[in-house]
């Protein structure tokens, strides 16, 4: 059992019961809609957390870096999809990894395919952009997509499918339902234009958490849902109760004249991902009260409003400020759990277990 009094440094607490619940709901959605569940592991980055996915029947995963693929390959997944285009200097590492697991990568141009020319056994997915503006070929540019398909088919690598990250749901959170449907329509149209019946990997947590239609998709690859966070709660992807990680930070100073506390918890712990609350407060997290079995509901008007490298300043309500003492640990739910988890490198469960990630 975790004893908060034994904490001596900023710690990322994880509620494994909530994690299991989040995984189970997404797995059930996949089962309901006849999708293959191939979640993205960039959020948790932990073999131990990955075991909870294995309990739910997952044995194929998606990752965001070659180092992450190498880390998870040690845990014997049947298929690892690297959702990042290759570069030529990675060829030897990719080849070594392909000898250990069924490996696939994203490509979106000839240069990516050429980066694989001295490798074998690596299949490719063509990355498609549904008007997000990051990587990938414009999903509506059917001629360019078809030309790259032809290039792949003439190469030594297998054309495994298409990959779509619908990041537009992060850009316009109030329009998630419509943006999800727009992406599905584009995928269905692509299938018709190319007479294509193979796999389409698709994943974004806002859309995949809330949608009840997945026409044209074969695999679901969302990842943030494992923990969720304040951003997802504000988007409507989850409830506050679904958020499964919480920073525990010690109070190092109180500013009575400003009704603020200073915590040991800065940009190196939270990152600088910011959110605008419904009350129009720009913040990096919101306070909860900690106990040995979890944390309370969000405390109104209690936000992490400023970050330097190691320090954070929290503006509190009068009652919460009065209850805080220097040396106490306060809980802060993060704006973006992916970046906080990456920054921290490990978790502490309420069983008192230390859970490592690939970054420790």
Specify the CATH number for the domain of residue 297: 2.40.37.20
**Structural domain that includes position 315:** 4-12+239-356
**Which pTM value belongs to this model?**
0.97
* pLDDT tens profile 258-298: 999 999 999 999 999 999 988 888 999 999 999 999 999 99
Phi, psi for 227 (deg, rounded to 5):
-115, -35
Last residue of a domain, one of 197, 228, 259: 228
Residues 204 and 313 in one domain: no
Reported as a single tens digit per residue, the pLDDT across 176-234 is 999 999 999 999 999 999 999 999 999 999 999 999 999 999 999 999 999 999 999 99
Number of domains observed in the structure of the chain = 2
Query: For position 142, which CATH number holds?
Result: 3.20.20.10
- The alpha-carbon radius of gyration of the chain (Å, integer) is 22
Q: List Cβ neighbours of 341 (8 Å cut-off, separation of 6 or more).
A: 12, 43, 44, 45, 227, 245, 347, 357
Task: Please tell me the predicted confidence (pLDDT) of residue 278.
Answer: 82
Does 244 lie in the same domain as 224?
no
Same domain, 144 and 65: yes
Residues 25 and 161 in one domain: yes
Report H helices in the chain: 16-32, 47-55, 66-73, 91-98, 110-114, 142-154, 168-171, 176-194, 205-210, 230-235, 267-270, 318-323, 337-344
Same domain, 53 and 76: yes
Same domain, 224 and 310: no
Q: Is the domain of 216 the same as that of 248?
A: no
């Amino acid at each position: 059992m975790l004893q908060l009094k034994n904490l001596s440094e900023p710690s990322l607490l994880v509620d494994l019961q909530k994690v299991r619940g989040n995984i189970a709901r997404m797995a059930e959605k996949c089962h309901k809609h006849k999708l293959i569940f191939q979640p993205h592991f960039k959020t948790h980055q932990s073999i131990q957390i990955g075991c909870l996915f294995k309990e739910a029947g997952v044995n194929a995963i998606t990752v965001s870096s070659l180092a992450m693929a190498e880390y998870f390959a040690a845990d014997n997944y049947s298929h690892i999809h690297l959702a990042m285009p290759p570069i030529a200097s990675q060829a030897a590492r990719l080849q070594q990894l392909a000898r250990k697991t069924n490996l696939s990568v994203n490509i979106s141009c000839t240069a990516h395919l050429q980066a694989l020319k001295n490798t074998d056994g690596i299949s490719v997915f063509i990355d498609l952009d549904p008007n997000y503006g990051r990587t990938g070929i414009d999903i509506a540019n059917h001629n360019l997509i078809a030309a790259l398909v032809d290039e792949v088919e003439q190469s030594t690598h297998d054309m495994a499918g298409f990959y779509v990250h619908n990041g537009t749901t992060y850009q316009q959170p109030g329009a998630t339902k419509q943006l999800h449907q727009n992406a599905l329509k584009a995928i269905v149209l692509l299938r018709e234009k190319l007479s294509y019946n193979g796999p389409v990997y698709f994943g974004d947590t806002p859309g995949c958490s809330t949608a009840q239609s997945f026409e044209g998709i074969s695999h679901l690859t969302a990842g943030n849902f494992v923990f969720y966070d304040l951003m997802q709660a504000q988007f409507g992807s989850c409830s506050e109760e679904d958020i499964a990680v919480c920073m525990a930070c010690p109070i190092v100073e109180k500013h009575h004249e400003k009704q603020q506390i200073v915590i040991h918890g800065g940009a190196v712990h939270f990152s600088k991902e910011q959110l605008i609350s419904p009350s129009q407060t720009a913040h990096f997290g919101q306070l909860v009260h900690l106990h040995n079995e979890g944390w309370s509901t969000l405390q109104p008007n209690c936000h992490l409003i400023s970050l330097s490298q190691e320090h954070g300043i929290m503006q509190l309500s009068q009652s919460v400020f009065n209850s805080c003492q220097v040396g106490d640990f306060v809980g802060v739910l993060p704006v973006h759990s992916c970046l906080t988890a990456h920054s921290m490198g490990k978790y502490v469960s309420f069983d008192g277990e230390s859970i490592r990630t690939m970054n420790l």
